[in-house]
Amino acid sequence: MITKYTKHALFALLIACLAGCGGETKAKTFKVTGKIHSGGSPITGLPPGDRPMVKFEASGTKEPTYAKVADDGSFLADLPVGNYKVTGSAGFMANSEKKGPGMVSQDLKVEADVANLDIDVASKSNKK
């Protein structure tokens, strides 16, 4: 026979289970900020609607995350812990594997917030 106390206990157990069965928990992310430029100057002269691009490609999954790039070249991305290949483009060939003028890549390890990441599309030292 189910008593009044048993019903209350079962109800409390049900509520506890439902509370713990919420949606997926997201992995903690960190802010990555910086600036994309060409030799220290803003990237200008792009075709209408085209703008500089900063792509973070996770080393394990190759899944891309694109940063939001402002008119002055500053960018922001939220990324989970991991190793990334960062590709900066002056606005063309953004989704191409070909590297040409105006496109550079570098490696980045994210373990905490990253500030002032410098992407210079004019630099020859970080083209890969």
Residue 24: other Cβ atoms inside 10 A: 5
What the block records as the tokens of 35 is 């600036």
Give residue-wise pLDDT tens across range 10-27.
Answer: 555 545 555 555 556 677
Tell me: the pLDDT tens digits for 13-67?
A: 545 555 555 556 677 999 999 999 988 888 877 777 788 999 999 998 888 999 9
User: Can you give the residue ranges of every domain in the chain?
Assistant: 29-120
Q: What would the mean pLDDT of 81-90 be, rounded to a whole number? A: 94
Q: Which CATH number fits domain 29-120: 3.40.50.360, 2.60.40.1120, 3.40.630.10, 3.50.50.60?
A: 2.60.40.1120
Residue 72: pLDDT over 80: yes
pLDDT score of 43? 86
